[in-house]
Amino acid sequence: AQSVTQPDIHITVSEGASLELRCNYSYGATPYLFWYVQSPGQGLQLLLKYFSGDTLVQGIKGFEAEFKRSQSSFNLRKPSVHWSDAAEYFCAVGSTASKLTFGTGTRLQVTL
């Protein structure tokens, strides 16, 4: 069965600092991997996705993620965080992007 682990429940960073959110997955084949962001009271918005090819993927809002098969990881990064990035971030894994399994989320707080 596929699963996703986001080990950090809550992270606080200063505005302008770099960010890395961790995601580890368990899946038997080549996974489809996603990062979504959820602002308070809103639905989930896709930040980026990995299906195949280049293991470093670029997304919206200046985010990027790197797929590392050997580590079963798909960590999300941003070089300089803005206060508007404060939200909850979800990593998800699936086989054909249909039946997705989501992690429990990481809540990001940004201090000014």
Partner 1 sequence: DAGVIQSPRHEVTEMGQEVTLRCKPISGHNSLFWYRQTMMRGLELLIYFNNNVPIDDSGMPEDRFSAKMPNASFSTLKIQPSEPRDSAVYFCASSTLAGGLYNEQFFGPGTRLTVL
Nearer to partner 1 among residue 57 and residue 81 (C-beta)? 57
Nearer to partner 1 among residue 34 and residue 74 (C-beta)? 34
Q: How far is the CB of 18 from partner 1 (least distance, A)?
A: 26
**Cα atoms in the Cβ-side hemisphere of radius 13 Å centred on 38:** 15
The string of DSSP codes covering 45-65 is EEEEEE-SS-SEEE-GGG-EE
- The answer to whether the CB of 36 falls within 8 A of the CB of 92 is yes
Q: How far is the CB of 80 from partner 1 (least distance, A)?
A: 26
Nearer to partner 1 among residue 17 and residue 97 (C-beta)? 97
Residue ranges that bind partner 1, judged by CB under 8 A: 34, 36, 41-46, 49, 90, 96-105
Distance between first and last Cα of the chain:
41
Q: How far is the CB of 34 from partner 1 (least distance, A)?
A: 7
